Structure 1
């Protein structure tokens, strides 16, 4: 199989919806143009485009890509809930790895509405919801409340984690405090404010035990990556900035997600665990080889669950890991140096490609004040309920 390289990345600043007078194709033009400029590649050299978004009608990908050029290349529209951006990246990487193309573009964007993410039990046709099975089981396990459905299912997972493993509210708050602290040095982050653990605990409760500062916001924004073959890298002298995708895996739900009757499994622990195992097996690397990690902290509990799924610690030990300082600067790994979804923001279609950009900048030594020193290997984890989990391993050439 051919080697795959990310040779250019770009993203917009993630912003609160309706902050700027722009549309999704404006965001895509900005992020895609930045990725092309970073790679020193013209759009006429792009052979295919994978365009990811969640909220929008068919062929928004074409409308967005047309802002970069009208060359007639195929544009594929990708929608995999919160894992959409990483799915677009994986599609682009497969084109290169399989020898179909030499240079392609992965593009992700989202223009969202203010307020909490809707869906689930309040839909007019609940049975048709992609998450009907998840929310039906959740409601059997925990009384359904008035808070947003996604906050409920993750909040209920947090309650289970606390009851089963002794995880504390303070440990959950430490995740959010860490990621808000990291975002202070990220000019692309939606929020750049630092909060103490006590600030996080005292913020408005969304769904016990999760407070507002432990929940990712709705956001507008876009991200992009130029993905190329080894031959293209050599012919265009891009080795100095090329970051190799050494392994990548996507998984979907198995019976385990439902049979265990646990919200921890409903929100994707088995998917994340299985995807991580696949990339470790394919690469010959493991958790001890990682330097920098961008993972899907849509809610603080999901960061703890993902520590365990990625093998950074044993089952139930995620709270202890963050409390020990192992996942920040000076610790064993730096997790979410960008600020993560909680503070950087979460425009669904763009999130996975923003993770790719962040990891690439660290491995290239271009992350500025938040640079992880000596970073050589990075991992990105992105999950979408319904479901899809994508784990990607990157290595500096």
Structure 2
């Protein structure tokens, strides 16, 4: 049995700061996806919601919340949470239901109404959560974390501030062509350099904003798609939601600081590379077959890291790939043709779903001015808290 599922419909609520609730954003996106699929709400057999921790109890049972907003009609509901990977986990759950024969058509929805400024810990004390600890004990907000990562790339690979700025310039140019994007203005390297330092070496324009927004997909079995007139739909071939590969070690001393037992060999590959490899293996393809990629550019430096972790280039070669124009529209492997988070900002449960929306438009040839010529295979990639990561491969 094929593991492919069809993407029948896609929909977005534009990103921004709209001052309304996440349910409204998700319902708008869901109705757009249903219209794009040419289906009625009653045709949907299951609803999978990507949860938000900022929406109170309704946000924690997003599947039922969106089903209620659209009109209860007896569909099965599922709610999932994996922080920034929530949308991809929702896609994985929907795909599993379809392949198991539990539903023929599934609606996947994620939406968020984000606070102003940078994210802060939500949901109470979580002393077992490394991200909560870095916020509370170190005061290391997300931008501080991004800045440390950027410094590492500068030290290890020789990346420069101009390299980081060029990522923003590229993504802003694509975002300017995307009607769903929040920021639709081109920028220059000089403007990035002149923006305020947030977490050295990163400037304000190196870091993505927090946003409101919503995204939705209608997924189905291939048989259902063919019965409803989609002879050659975009197909999801792989969904990777693996944990990192890290060495195991047993700490059996009362004071690990006095002994080398705490020291271990570094992992054979990074967390993000583990995610990508699992997707490639499941899809039976390699990075050389990709037409485009949508990656999780929380910062400009992190986008460069994804180039290497997705196998688009060798280790330490990301800045060279960028400068050659390979990741720009018209290049060998365009990255973030949507404009990325640089142009959208984070609407956490929606963003992995929105990435698949972009792949779908591109693979259908419906991306308008930002269309990648001849796009046939695309990959998404993002990461969430606590070892959650995801990658989706779609093709046509």
Give the TM-score taking structure 1 as reference length.
0.89
Following superposition, the deviation at residue 283 of structure 1 comes to 2.1
Find the counterpart in structure 1 of residue 253 from structure 2. none
- State the shift of 1:130 in Å: 5.2
CA distance in 1, matches of 2:348, 2:182: 14
Aligned length: 378
SS in structure 1 opposite 2:74?
A: coil
Q: CA, structure 1 residues 98+171, in 2 after alignment: closer, same or farther (shift >3 Å)?
A: same
| Structural mapping, 1:76-91, within 5 Å | 76-91=78-93
Shift in Å, 1:87? 1.3
**SS of match in other structure, 1:334:** coil
Do residues 204 (structure 1) and 205 (structure 2) align? no
Give the C-alpha shift of residue 126 in structure 1.
Answer: 5.7
Distance 1:370 1:304 in 2: 21
Is 1:95–2:97 an aligned residue pair? yes
Aligned residue for 1:67, secondary structure, equals: helix
Unaligned runs of 5+ in 1: none
| RMSD between aligned residues | 2.5
Corresponding residue of 2:14: 13
1:229 corresponding residue in structure 2: 221
Tell me the SS of whatever aligns to 1:222: strand
8 Å CA contact retained: 2:292, 2:334: yes
**Are the equivalent residues in 2 in contact too, given 1:105–1:227 (CA < 8 A)?**
yes
User: Partners in 1 of 2:263 and 2:16 — Cα distance?
Assistant: 38
- Residues 88 and 106 in structure 1, CA contact (< 8 A), matched pair in contact too: yes
SS at match of 2:70: coil
**Contact 1:50–1:91 under 8 Å retained in 2:** yes
Taking structure 2 as the reference length, the TM-score comes to 0.89
2:173 to 181, 186, 192: 181
Instruction: After superposing the two structures, state which structure 1 stretch, 326-335 or 62-71, moved more.
Output: 62-71
Please give the residue correspondences for 1:1-397 in structure 2 after superposition, counting only pairs within 5 Å.
1-2=1-2, 3-16=4-17, 19-20=18-19, 22-54=20-52, 55-56=54-55, 57=57, 58-119=60-121, 125=125, 127-129=127-129, 131-132=131-132, 135=134, 144=138, 149-240=141-232, 242-255=233-246, 270-396=270-396
Instruction: Give 1:260 deviation, angstroms.
Output: 8.6
Structure 2 SS opposite 1:293: strand
* Greater than 4 Å deviation, 4+ residue runs: 256-262
Q: Is the 8 A contact 2:293 2:335 kept in 1?
A: yes
